[in-house]
Amino acid sequence: MSAHLTRNRLQGSTPPPTAPGPVTEFHRRFPDYAPTPLVDLPTLATALGVGHVLVKDESDRLGLPAFKMLGAAWASYRALVDRLGHEPQWSTFDELADALEPLRPIALATATDGNHGRAVASFARRVGIGARIFVPTGTSRSRIDAVLGEGASCEVVDGTYEDAVARAAREAGDDCLVVSDTSWEGYETIPAIVIEGYATIFAEVAAQSAAAGLAVPDLVVVPMGVGALAAATAQWYRRDSFPSSLRLLGVEPTSANCVQASAEAGHIVEVPGPHRSIMAGLNCGLPSPVAWPWVSTGFDWFVSIDDADAERAMRSLADCGVVSGETGAASLGALQAIDDLTLLGLGPDATVLLLSTEGATDPSFFAATVGRDAAAVAADAPPCVAAVDRDGPCPVDRCPGVCRR
């Protein structure tokens, strides 16, 4: 198990920031919104030879076991509002569902490796409309069942994720809005809004770190599929308020390293399929063009890892009480697979932030890999760093303190 590490020679000035929409305010309107825990894992820090390993644990986000709802819901909402022609007044999802009445019959459509489509379907269900989800060949039964469980239709497209994207795009019409997290020529607005939606993760990290008196990270590690989450990471951490010494590392599977291959080529290239990594959310052959300007200029390194690296990282995180699926654990998998972390400028005082972007999205695979199911692992969950006073209220706004467990 060793990693293929590339220094990003395209790194340079990131695009000018655009004014973000009221995305975090939107997420706070969900009745079940709560910040996800940020945990500090000293055992892993010692093993990796760094000062702190902070993990943003996205295993339970707005009722789903991955971060994806943040972008899917925000983009779906903006697409529906755009079709409606005005922003309705609402404070509950029932009220929003009523306000969308003039659009019916209307559905949402997208392609997915699992998590984004499930999130689009979940948002559609909340507002009482349909969803049509398209998945590539090889998508696991439990991922398909999870989409169906949200009341959506789910069609298996014969081919790769990119083939599923092309199929979903054909659904666009009077009765259907396509909410894709990847872009193509002529379809850029919605994928850019998906990226905007992910900012809530970083706003929470900032609040939690401030509450705990933690330093700004030296390195942030992000799993990459089409690069939308990576673009959101660059949009956040490449602002002037952060030091230029802060490093960004993007992780992909060896068999679907389209961002790394594009960076090495100097322009977007496709890594042909089939893409059959267990890191299902990262099985993408083509970076998203709207994400690319941010990822290609904002990241310091790209790394590709093997499935065995992701499995090892799942077990390591589970040993620390963190439920992290095969895609979510890729961030740690990368650090464990890189032979010499001093290459990344990491030493005993460094603080590393790992995005663990999902929990047990494939519960049977999780249990088989880790040797326990997600509930058993979560029973040993560490406290959130912001839970400074275990008996008092959490200092982070709108946090019910559930992460103190």
Ligand X SMILES: Cc1ncc(COP(=O)(O)O)c(C=O)c1O
Catalogue the active-site residues: 68, 113
> Which residue's Cβ lies closest to ligand X?
281
Nearer Cβ to ligand X, position 163 or 395?
A: 163
Closest distance between ligand X and the C-beta of residue 198, in Å?
8
Q: How far is the CB of 10 from ligand X (least distance, A)?
A: 17
Nearest CB to ligand X, comparing residues 68 and 167: 68
Q: Which two tokens stand for residue 102?
A: 């003039």
Q: With respect to ligand X, which residue has the nearer C-beta, 223 or 285?
A: 223
Give the residue with the Cβ less far from ligand X, 237 or 387: 237
Cβ-based nearer residue to ligand X, 68 or 404: 68
Minimum Å gap between C-beta 157 and ligand X is: 16
Q: Whole-number minimum distance, CB 288 to ligand X, in Å?
A: 7
- Smallest distance from the beta carbon of 280 to ligand X, in angstroms? 7
* Sites of contact with ligand X (CB under 6 A): 66, 68, 113, 115-116, 181, 223-230, 281-282, 327-328, 357-358
Alpha-carbon span 169 to 177, nearest angstrom? 9
Tell me the two tokens of residue 261.
């291959």
Nearer to ligand X, 45 or 75 (CB): 75
